[in-house]
Amino acid sequence: MSAALRHHLGWLPQGVVLGLLAFAIFGPLLNMLLWAVAEQWYFPHKLPLEYGFSFWQRVFRPRGNAMVSLGNSIAIALFTVAVCLAVAIPAGYALARRSLPLRGLILLAFLLPQAFPSLAVYINVARIFYGLGLNGTIAGVVLVHTMHGLVFAVWIATAAFAAVDRELEEAARNIGASPLQAFRAVTLPLAAPGIMASAIFVFLESLDEFTGTYFVGVPDVTTLPLLLFTASMEGNYQIASITALILLVPSVGFMLFIERFLKADVLAKVGS
Amino acid sequence: MTQSRLISLALVAPALAILLALFVYPLGFSLVTAFEGEGGAWTVGNFTKAFDFYWRDIGFTVLIVGLSTVLIGGFAIAIGGFLTLGENPRAVAALRWLYRWPLFIPFVVAGQLMRTFLAKNGMMNNALVELGLLAPLQAQSYLDWRGIVVTFVWKQTPFVALLVAGAMAALDRATIEAARNLGAGRLRVLLEIVLPQVRQTLIVGLILSFVIMMSVLSVPLMINAQSPTMLTVDMAFRINAYGDYGVANALGFISYLMTGVVAWIYLRQGVREGGA
């Protein structure tokens, strides 16, 4: 093969591999989109026989199962973010800025849940909650999601506070601000983008959480992931695909914009 | 202890309290229940029962999660390597845009996607038939152990690849350029120069993925309902069908051991290298 020809064909293997990868990544997504707008689709037809939105009307019917689940999911995620931030902001500030005994150990302790398969812990949380009357309540699900989101909230908040320039705080103190005033006027606003990122992350984790809700939420609290699961197991692929699409939009959006929320200076401080 | 340190502890206390109440306490509860017989006496009866009933599922879980971890590692290295050493800027940009899509897609959604994509008359088989690569009668369903592995790899590779690519991008380019100038091929540079320097990041990402895959209930339920199946499905079944917390927690203990062994291998290697 001449050098010129090789140069012209050099892109071919790369192109084929990228094409295969694109099919592997977007194929399943495209299949779901087709199911979401399929009115009728059965074997051996390779494409839906009829397209339409009648299943969308069923999903978005006011007071239908899906709307209740969507409301539950959003309420639970917002409460989870509120609880996580309420405990993670003071903890992150103390871990990043103040002298604290056993600081490294405490930071590591928040990583502990990541080292154990969570399902085996959730079944026991559900058993304990059952005794407390928390099973099947929104509060119970919020607590489980809070535990799950806490590691991200604490670690990102700590990194966000660590990335704030100490000299700005000291300048505020020098002109007579109390520690609390300096925190509210200088440190917190400067750390806000990082904390916002952790809030979005906790929100998404809660929105997507399945296993904990499966054990603690039953039978009264249904969230979107549980609705999707039930619809899929019943073979109702249209409902399952539409629900999957609702969950997909915020996930993909976050993936596309994560770098705008989580700046490199904060990322560099994670775990330091 | 000074007053300042007491205030610091007070600031951390609420977060630690949640950790203790909702993680450490239930974890202790699960360890105790695993070794507790019906009258409350200590026993290993739950474990003998767990092994008798579920020894195949224990092996199945190890194989599936192990194979998925190996594949995720391979793909993550390939993606990171191409992004770092690729010479065609357009191909690199295309891959950078492409590989991250499944990053935050929840497992339950990935399960639903694959349930339709990998089915006997799903889109994958249809595409292969249309391309003439597969005879229609040969089409088979992949909704078994293969489907679980595909779903896990599809969902977790972007996470590990993101970590690995980040670590590779932070490397000193000088050694890479020097090796290239001396005539080393790109594959050799990747395996002998780049990979050893990002091994730590790769292994941390793979261990995190291993633990996450050990905890997923939705994917094995949706992709592979038949036996053998994964331990998470067995745990849910013991509780939903029998309220049998003893055997469920014994299986939970076995899954802690599996992740523990993986973490231990990693730590031991770290010590050996640190000592060398």
Q: What is the DSSP string of chain B?
A: --HHHHHHHHHHHHHHHHHIIIIIHHHHHHHHHHTB-TTS-B-SHHHHHHHHHHHHHHHHHHHHHHHHHHHHHHHHHHHHHHHHH---HHHHHHHHHHTTTTTT--HHHHHHHHHHHSSTTSHHHHHHHHTTSS-GGG----TTHHHHHHHHHHHHHHHHHHHHHHHHHTS-HHHHHHHHHTT--HHHHIIIIIHHHHHHHHHHHHHHHHHHHHH--HHHHHH--SSS--HHHHHHHHHHHH--HHHHHHHHHHHHHHHHHHHHHHHHHHHHHHH-
Per-residue pLDDT reduced to its tens digit, B16-62? 999 999 999 999 999 999 998 877 788 899 999 999 999 999 999 99
Give pLDDT, residue A38. 86
Contacts of B253 in chain A (CB under 8 A): 120
In a mutational test of the B interface, the residue from A121, A141, A142, A198 whose CB has the highest number of chain B CBs within 10 Å is A121
B230 in contact with A at a CB cutoff of 8 Å? no
The pLDDT-based confidence of A77 (bands split at 50, 70, 90) is: very high
Give pLDDT, residue A114. 86
CB contact under 8 Å between B112 and A127, yes or no, is no
pLDDT > 70 in chain A, percent? 92
CB contact under 8 Å between A115 and B259, yes or no, is yes
Encoding tokens for residue B113?
Answer: 């996607």
Task: Sort A164 into a burial class: Cβ within 10 Å, 0-12 / 13-18 / 19+.
Answer: buried
A123 within 8 A of A61, measured Cβ to Cβ = no
Give pLDDT, residue A103. 86
The whole-number average pLDDT for the span A69-97 is 95
Residue with tokens 């800025």: A97
The pLDDT-based confidence of A53 (bands split at 50, 70, 90) is: confident
CB contact under 8 Å between B27 and A237, yes or no, is no
The whole-number average pLDDT for the span A123-141 is 94
Per-residue pLDDT reduced to its tens digit, A180-233? 888 898 999 999 988 998 999 899 999 999 999 999 998 889 999 999 999 999
Contacts of B147 in chain A (CB under 8 A): none
Contacts of A122 in chain B (CB under 8 A): 26
Give pLDDT, residue B270. 64
B236 in contact with A at a CB cutoff of 8 Å? yes
Give pLDDT, residue A136. 92
Encoding tokens for residue B192?
Answer: 């002998």
CA A70, A76, A81 angle in degrees (round to 5)?
125
Contacts of B78 in chain A (CB under 8 A): none
Calpha distance B200→B145 (Å, rounded) = 29
Q: Report the CATH superfamily, name and number, of domain B49-266.
A: MetI-like (1.10.3720.10)
B98 in contact with A at a CB cutoff of 8 Å? yes
Q: How far is CA B198 from the centre of its chain?
A: 19
Give pLDDT, residue B271. 63
Closest among A52, A83, A92, A67 to A183, alpha carbons compared = A92
pLDDT over 50 (residue B276): no
ipTM over 0.85: yes
3-class secondary structure per residue, chain A:
CCHHHHHHHCHHHHHHHHHHHHHHHHHHHHHHHHHHCEEECCCCCCCCCEECCHHHHHHCCCCCHHHHHHHHHHHHHHHHHHHHHHHHHHHHHHHHHCCCCCHHHHHHHHHHHHHCCHHHHHHHHHHHHHHHCCCCCHHHHHHHHHHHHHHHHHHHHHHHHHCCCHHHHHHHHHCCCCHHHHHHHHHHHHHHHHHHHHHHHHHHHHHHCCHHHHHHCCCCCCCHHHHHHHHHHCCCHHHHHHHHHHHHHHHHHHHHHHHHHCCHHHHCCCCC
pTM of the entire structure?
0.90
Q: Average pLDDT, whole number, for chain B?
A: 90
Which residues, in sequence order, are CB contacts of B89 under 8 Å at separation 6+? none
β-bridge mates for residue A50, sequence order? A40
The whole-number average pLDDT for the span A46-50 is 82
Calpha distance B140→B129 (Å, rounded) = 12
Nearest chain A Cα to B219, which residue?
A: A229
Report in angstroms the alpha-carbon separations of A116 from A55, A111, B209. 40, 10, 12
Report in angstroms the alpha-carbon separations of A130 from A134, A218, B167, B225, B231. 6, 11, 45, 28, 23
Calpha distance A104→B1 (Å, rounded) = 18
Per-residue pLDDT reduced to its tens digit, B99-158? 999 988 999 999 999 998 998 888 888 888 888 888 877 888 888 899 999 999 999 999
Give pLDDT, residue A97. 86
Per-residue pLDDT reduced to its tens digit, B201-243? 899 899 999 999 999 999 999 998 777 899 999 999 999 999 8
Give pLDDT, residue A117. 92
A246 within 8 A of A60, measured Cβ to Cβ = no
Nearest chain B Cα to A10, which residue?
A: B88
Q: How near does any CA of chain A get to the CA of B223, in Å? A: 10
B227 within 8 A of B14, measured Cβ to Cβ = no
Question: Higher pLDDT residue, B98 or B133?
Answer: B98
The whole-number average pLDDT for the span A130-157 is 94
Backbone angles phi, psi at B44, to 5 degrees: -105, 15
A254 within 8 A of A204, measured Cβ to Cβ = yes
The whole-number average pLDDT for the span B74-100 is 92
Backbone angles phi, psi at B86, to 5 degrees: -60, 140
CB contact under 8 Å between B218 and A225, yes or no, is yes
Q: How near does any CA of chain A get to the CA of B258, in Å? A: 10
The whole-number average pLDDT for the span A68-88 is 95
Contacts of A225 in chain B (CB under 8 A): 106, 108-109, 218
Contacts of B216 in chain A (CB under 8 A): 119, 211
Give pLDDT, residue A134. 93
Q: Report the CATH superfamily, name and number, of domain A68-267.
A: MetI-like (1.10.3720.10)
Give pLDDT, residue B102. 92
Calpha distance B127→B144 (Å, rounded) = 20
Give pLDDT, residue B183. 85
Q: Where are chain B's structural domains?
A: 49-266
CB contact under 8 Å between B30 and A247, yes or no, is no
Cβ pairs A/B, distance under 8 A: 237
